[in-house]
Chains A and B, each alone.
Chain A
Amino acid sequence: MSILTAILGRLAKAALTLLAIAVLNFFLLHAAPGDPAVVLAGEAGAADEQMIEQLRERFGLDQPFYVQLGKYVGGIVQLDLGYSFRQDAPVSQLILDRLPATLLLTLTAFGISLVCGIALGVASAARVGKASDSALTTLALLFYATPLYWLALMAVLVFSVWLGWLPGFGYETVGAGYTGITRALDILQHLILPALTLGLFFMAVYMRMTRASMLEVSQLDFVKTAKAKGLSGPAIRRRHILRNAILPVVTLAGLQAGQLVGGAVLTETVFAWPGIGRLMFESLAARDYNTILGVFLVSAAMVILFNIVTDIVYRIVDPRIGATA
């Protein structure tokens, strides 16, 4: 019951946040230099006079400001994100077509980074002060400082151009006509490099967090009790320390979701991965503001959804949260 009301509360808040972002988008469109109708049309002659006239009428650009705001936000509530004149398609359609690729990439990267990050963090904390611990923390610090897109480019250079092990761009082999299992394997092969490079940065974040959290929990009294009971080191780490140390890592993982989506823009750009990040990059060059703002709104929605999911996971992992909140 308490979980249900909590979820409902979160959903209501999520709806409000998205509404606020829609309003923000409206003001940004009007803040852009130039006639809003021309801005909406994608600037520089992508639309003819008649089309711009239609846009003016549809968004009520000759009417008072609040009417315009109402029309714009009303459209978004009905999932109408506007029209991309550059691509000659509704923005919502463009995004929907590209969303599966982005979800596949970000969720894979998230899974890899969380599992490897926690495992390495535990290993590093268990060997605290030894050479292998220093090596791991130094490596994490290095990944932490490496620009994602540059790492992606270097991965393409080494594993695709020089070694030829993995495809360096795209979602699947174009024109190969694979179906079923062969197609899935083909996509998997294309997925490895983007997912790994996107995941490495976050792996470093989770590793540092897990290590610090493990070390902090290992100072607590109940760990001394477990030691006094005569439990072995690995058993204490697994059953007593890790279970308590993992909570802040889950919180952090939820907060990092926004960064993961932002990172997807860069990774997808380098690997020509046909997701919404790549769509955003293409729209930047074309000055297709409608699509840019649409992707922005959808990526915010993804982050909010992801936060709600981590919140639920958090409540399941630690029932105390539900009891106090």
Chain B
Amino acid sequence: MWKRFRSNIGAMVGVAILLAVILIAVCAPLIYPHGPWQMVQRPFLPPMSVDGLPLGTDTLGRNVAAQLAYGAQVSLLVGLVSTIVALLIGVPLGAVAGFYGNWVDEGAMRFTEFFQTIPNFALAIVLVAIFEPTLASITLAIAIVSWPPVARLVRAEVMSVRKREFVDAATLAGLSRPKILITQVLPNTVSPIIVMASLMVATAILLESSLSFLGLGDPNAMSWGYMIGAARTVIRTSWWLSFFPGIAIVLTVLALNLIGEGLNDALNPHLSRKGRA
């Protein structure tokens, strides 16, 4: 499996980009010890015009490169944590629904369907607006709008694994139902969940940036979406202020999507062959 993943050029490019972004995020406090909010020069300096400021300065004379580096922290953190929270909601719900069936399934799926019908970005906006924008409320709002596909996926996987022979064997061996679900069924659903999770981190980063673009970012955290939102009104005179953060988002999200596709091909080889034929 690892060999198949490594031979996928797209996935390796994704890994390289993601590692670079992680490195920048981790090293941000070392490279820019003064933080992203510090004014360093005249405002509106174009890129490459002054030494040490390769990406120029923003409307308040802050270093755009430093802002980008600190923005990487927020994007990765929110993307990762919100995906974990979404998994914590979606996996148990989908597993229980698929394993026990009947009214449990019926109830859980109605609940999931309700959340899937609601336009998810609009719900995220409403949640963050009402509970005040903080990193915690943003992360939670993204998790709340992203879990339904997880629940559906896990439910479908559990339903198919449940009918396999080794589950019957475990029942005969006298294992309790919850124990069978946790130790026998769930481990067999891990690979599609991993693929979906890597794509969810990408979507979560896009969602976070969209929220902070609309002014719903944590006011104490520098983020890429906030940078673009703040530069929106000066797009005619200072294109670089919105251009670079956008490129950062595209690269990070693209990297995660490439990794997700590579994992998918590596973990479900027969599916990918069918798709590629």
Report whether chain A binds chain B: yes
Residues of A within 8 A of B (CB): 17, 20-21, 28-29, 31-33, 128, 141-142, 144-150, 153-154, 156-157, 161, 212, 215-216, 218-219, 255, 257-259, 261-263, 265-266, 269-270, 280-281, 284-285, 287, 289, 292-293, 295-296, 299-300, 303-304, 307
B117 touches A263 (CB 8 A): no
B277 touches A215 (CB 8 A): yes
Residues of B within 8 A of A (CB): 114, 116-123, 125-127, 129-132, 202, 206, 209-210, 213-216, 225, 228, 232, 235-236, 239, 242-243, 245-246, 249-250, 253-254, 257-258, 274-277
State in angstroms the CA–CA spacing of A265 and B216 once bound together.
13
A146 touches B118 (CB 8 A): no
B interface secondary structure, majority: helix
B254 touches A142 (CB 8 A): yes
Q: Using Cβ atoms and an 8 Å threshold, which residues of chain A touch B257?
A: 141, 144-145
Q: Can you list the 10 inter-chain pairs with the closest CB atoms, starting with the nearest?
A: A262-B121, A150-B246, A258-B119, A145-B253, A145-B254, A32-B130, A261-B119, A296-B126, A299-B122, A299-B119
B275 touches A262 (CB 8 A): no
State in angstroms the CA–CA spacing of A33 and B137 once bound together.
13
Check A265/B121 contact, CB under 8 A, given A150-B242, A281-B214: yes
**Minimum distance in angstroms from A148 CB to a CB of chain B:** 7
A289 touches B129 (CB 8 A): yes
A284 touches B242 (CB 8 A): no
List 22 A–B pairs whose Cβ atoms lie within 8 Å, in order of A's numbering: A145-B249, A146-B253, A147-B206, A147-B210, A147-B249, A150-B228, A150-B245, A150-B250, A153-B235, A157-B235, A161-B235, A212-B275, A215-B277, A258-B118, A258-B119, A258-B121, A262-B122, A269-B214, A284-B214, A287-B129, A299-B119, A300-B122
B122 touches A296 (CB 8 A): yes
A147 touches B209 (CB 8 A): yes
A259 touches B119 (CB 8 A): yes
State in angstroms the CA–CA spacing of A285 and B129 once bound together.
9
State in angstroms the CA–CA spacing of A296 and B126 once bound together.
7
A296 touches B117 (CB 8 A): no
**Minimum distance in angstroms from B260 CB to a CB of chain A:** 11
In the complex, residue of chain B having the shortest beta-carbon distance to the beta carbon of A143: B250
Number of A-B contacts (CB under 8 A): 140
In the complex, residue of chain A having the shortest beta-carbon distance to the beta carbon of B236: A161
**Minimum distance in angstroms from A227 CB to a CB of chain B:** 15
In the complex, residue of chain A having the shortest beta-carbon distance to the beta carbon of B113: A17
Check A307/B117 contact, CB under 8 A, given A31-B130, A215-B277, A216-B274: yes
Q: Using Cβ atoms and an 8 Å threshold, which residues of chain A touch B232?
A: 153, 270
B276 touches A266 (CB 8 A): no
**Minimum distance in angstroms from B12 CB to a CB of chain A:** 15
State in angstroms the CA–CA spacing of A150 and B232 once bound together.
9
Check A31/B277 contact, CB under 8 A, given A281-B214, A292-B126: no
Q: Using Cβ atoms and an 8 Å threshold, which residues of chain B touch A148?
A: 210
Q: Using Cβ atoms and an 8 Å threshold, which residues of chain B touch A150?
A: 228, 242, 245-246, 249-250
